[in-house]
Amino acid sequence: MTTMTMAKALNAGLRRAMERERRVVLFGEDIGRLGGVFRVTDGLQKDFGEHRVIDAPLAESGIVGTSVGMAMRGFRPVVEIQFDGFVYPAFDQIVSQVAKTLRRTDGAVRMPLVIRIPYGGGIGAVEHHSESPEAYFVHTAGLRVLTPSDPQAAYLTIQQAIASDDPVIYLEPKRRYWDKGEVDLDADPFALSPWHARVLRPGDDVTVACYGPMVRTCLEAAEAADCSVEVIDLQSLSPLDIDVVAASVRRTGHLVVVHEASSTAGLGAEVAARVSEECFYSLEAPVLRVTGYDVPYPASRLEEHFLPDLDRVLDGVDRVRAF
């Protein structure tokens, strides 16, 4: 076990994936000499060369579009989008080409791309640097969506994402990049499937489902709660592992879904709908969502009010129990 930040764990995972498969290439803005604006690719260009860690022009649609071509040619491009708010120029390529090529070629052409996107707020950033775009991608058939919540999960899931023959939108919770955790660098990344939710803390009274940056917040809230809270890290947003959530809700009868993204048509809505389909008769209360409001991400001085925090999670827990 080694203690390291999530940024370092991702770096180690990328390194392992590149050692394992020579057709893995990293592609993105400022990822080479600078090592990425969050230093996730630090040192990789030096060790693997400029032909495998490629500094791209400043053009997101271009980066993803050319990665589609490279994938057709048998490479496994791992794209870095610098910030969440900058992925939208590439949205057309992702939705129209990355997601649909396998289907349109009747399975002949796979798109083993990974598109890494630092996402979420909480870092005092300026406009367009704190967004949570996951629902757009989850809504798009043909894309898989993963988001790690701690360094060990990051180390393993980035390798699994790269090994997947499907395109993976890999959302990195940027406010957790510098959180440290124990990482077993010898762990076999293929021992467990990444496409599952994880019960991180068992509990009996209320189930709290969350992912990415909110996982730490929810674990802290569970610790502070005056009832027994089960915390589930969804981890795989597409496919969504509803079975683990439903099994928990069958015991607790109460579910709170927590995410930073706005509530309307977000992951919370999907989880609520699926749980009501799966285990309606176990629900002692409606599924509650504790989320960002339906507003553009606010100026950073207000983000504390926008982002669900320990108090808001506990308020949700209180309300779902009082129902």
Q: How far is CA 65 from the centre of its chain?
A: 22
Residue 194 in the binding site for other proteins (CB under 8 A): no
Spatial distance between the Cα atoms of 38 and 84, rounded to a whole number of angstroms: 13
Q: Is 3 among the residues that bind other proteins (CB under 8 A)?
A: no
CB-based contacts of 188-193 (< 8 A; 24+ apart in sequence): 189/13, 189/16, 189/155, 189/156, 189/157, 189/159, 189/160, 189/163, 190/160, 190/163, 192/156, 193/160
Q: Rank residues 23 and 298 by Cβ distance to other proteins and give the closer one.
A: 298
Taking the least distance from each CB to other proteins, the nearer of 161 and 279 is 279
Contact between 30 and other proteins per CB under 8 A = yes
Q: Which one, of 83, 130, 118, lies nearest residue 302 by Cα?
A: 130
What's the CA gap between 138 and 169, in Å, rounded? 9
Options 19-27, 70-78, 116-124, 148-156: segment touching other proteins (CB under 8 A)? 116-124
Among 76, 116, 289, 321, binds other proteins (CB under 8 A): 289
Q: Choosing from 51, 128, 129, 196, which is the catalytic residue?
A: 129
Q: Is 51 a catalytic residue?
A: no
| Binding residue for other proteins, selected from 135, 183, 314, 317, defined by CB under 8 A | 314
Q: Does 16 sit near other proteins (CB under 8 A)?
A: no
Structure token pair of residue 165: 């023959």
* Span 44-73, contacts to other proteins by CB under 8 A: 55, 57-62
The pair of three-digit structure tokens given for residue 307, joined into one six-digit string: 């982002």
Q: Which residue in 216, 233, 270, 275 binds other proteins (CB under 8 A)?
A: 216
Least gap, CB of 169 to other proteins (angstroms): 19
Q: Provide the minimum distance between the beta carbon of 281 and other proteins in the complex, in angstroms, as a whole number.
A: 4
Interacting span for other proteins (CB under 8 A) from 66-74, 98-106, 137-145, 294-302? 294-302
Contacts of 24 (CB under 8 A, 6+ apart): 17, 18, 52, 75, 76, 78, 162
Residue span binding other proteins (CB under 8 A) among the ranges 67-75, 97-105, 162-170, 260-268: 260-268
Q: Where are the beta strands (DSSP E) in the chain?
A: 2-5, 24-28, 53-55, 76-80, 114-119, 144-146, 168-173, 180-183, 198-201, 206-210, 229-233, 236-238, 255-262, 288-292
Work out whether 165 is an interface residue with other proteins (CB under 8 A): no
Q: Which of 223, 265, 273, 277 binds other proteins (CB under 8 A)?
A: 223
> Angle between the 214-224 and 310-322 helix axes, to the nearest 10 degrees?
60
The smaller minimum CB distance to other proteins, of residues 19 and 223, is found at: 223
Least CB distance from residue 220 to other proteins, whole Å?
Answer: 4
Residue 1 touching other proteins (CB under 8 A): no
If DSSP codes are grouped into helix, strand and coil, which group holds residue 94?
helix
**DSSP state for residue 275 in the 8-state scheme:** H
Contact between 107 and other proteins per CB under 8 A: no
Which residues are known catalytic residues? 129
